[in-house]
Amino acid sequence: MKLLQTFALTATVAAAAAFGASAPARAEGKTITLCWAAWDPANALVELSKDFTAKTGVNMKFEFVPWPNFADRMLNELNSKGKLCDLMIGDSQWIGGAAENGQYVKLNEFFDKEGIKISDFMPATVAGYAEWPKGSPNYWALPAMGDANGWTYRKDWFSRPEIREEFKKKFGRELEVPKTQEELKDIAEFFQKRVIDGKTVYGAAIFTERGSEGITMGVTNALYPFGFKYQNPKKPYDMQGFVNSDDAVKGLEFYKALYKCCTPPGYSNGYMQEGLDAFKSGQVALQMNWFAFFPGLYKDPNVGGDRIGFFVNPAQKEKGSQLGGQGISVVAYSPNRPEALAYIKWFASLDTQKKWWALGGYSCHKGVLNDPNFKNTAPFAADFLVAMDQVVDFWAEPSYAQLLLAMQKRVHDYVVADQGTAKGALDGLIVDWTKVFKEDGKL
């Protein structure tokens, strides 16, 4: 996920100079701090990092911030040249600003020196979490936490004979995991206000949140499959006819229809936690959310185990899932750079990556993901592979905050607040984004 902070990145002196020597095999008494969001994968990382301390003697401290405050807290730390964080697992969209403003250490020289091959990691995660400018071999992070948007569903409800019979009678097909966006909507409508076990349930929990990034991270899962593009693939920042194409308009109209027909009452500002709450409480048949939460959901005593199923964001005209996840970077202002780099080296190893996945983190290492048995290691593992092969990311420009603010407003106004048309919202978004890129000298 990529939480928004309304900040203005100020120019700073590039600070990606000498790396210094690698940390010694034992560095007793040294302590470094890793900063990330507060969620289940962070707890897994604490457990994993005990191996690093045992191997090197470097102690670990952790600064974990709840998601709603994560971007504000960490970007303020970077912009103020703070020394709290030696390592930061920051959102993919921070890469551009952090690289251009000297806030992250460029890692190319270190990778070469230590024999770390960025090609050992999935291409989508390298592009999304590590490189800037996009498409260039300049790396400011190591892929750390692969993630994408996916779906959970009430497998136990889908399997009930009376429900299956009624669905087949109505739609002429079996009640199964949807293969298209339209099939997903059919299922959501079918369950909307249905009474199951004496309780009224609803179709789907989707992202509608206005304040940070929620509705953008949700609506893109409809826009991408319908054909939305951020720009002309042959001409950067050329958005006319791509952002507002006929197919993109259909995608935005579809998301609004899904919101209007099939969400729980009052679900006008929902994001990650609201979706988890709705699903765990037995309120919805379908839930849009990040794969990072799926291990915890599978273990849930009320809706986990045999009751839950998982599927990749369905296609329509094309395939597409919103990219989540993060890379791990060395903060340029860290006074403990050798030890922080030693952590990167340790984390990059295949043995560490295998344990990272086993503990509940989402490895991006090909040695883990391409293992023939990987698909059998978790009930959502196969879907994760498919999702990561079709991910698309939001802008990772240094001005991404302004770009995201514009999309949040335009999309929320149309989908939730019933203002204007889908075409008008996307036309307006091009105007907003064009202004930002002109101010940045990109147009």
Please write the tens of the pLDDT for every residue from 326-347.
999 999 999 999 999 999 999 9
CATH, range 31-148+323-392: 3.40.190.10
Side-chain-facing half-sphere of 356: CA atoms under 13 Å: 26
Please write the tens of the pLDDT for every residue from 288-303.
999 999 999 999 999 9
Task: Please name the residue ranges forming H helices in 263-336.
Answer: 272-280, 294-298
Are 201 and 194 a contacting pair, CB within 8 Å? Answer: yes
pLDDT given at position 388: 95
Distance CA 229, CA 227 (A): 6
pLDDT band at 6 (very low <50, low <70, confident <90, very high): very low
CATH, range 149-322: 3.40.190.10
Please write the tens of the pLDDT for every residue from 201-236.
999 999 999 999 999 999 999 999 999 999 999 999
pLDDT given at position 1: 57
Span 393-399, average pLDDT: 94
Give yes or no for residue 16 having a pLDDT over 70.
no
pTM: 0.92
DSSP conformation letters of 75-137: HHHHHTT-SS-SEEEEEGGGHHHHHHTT-B---HHHHHHHT--GGGB-HHHHHHHTBSSTTSS
Q: Is it true that the peptide bond before 66 is cis, omega within 30 degrees of 0?
A: no
219-237 burial: b if 16+ Cβ within 10 Å, else e: bbbbbbbbbbbbbeeeeeb
Encoded tokens for 291: 């794969």
Are 170 and 163 a contacting pair, CB within 8 Å? Answer: no
Please write the tens of the pLDDT for every residue from 132-162.
999 999 999 999 999 999 999 999 999 999 9
Task: Give the residue range(s) of CATH 3.40.190.10 domains in the chain.
Answer: 31-148+323-392, 149-322
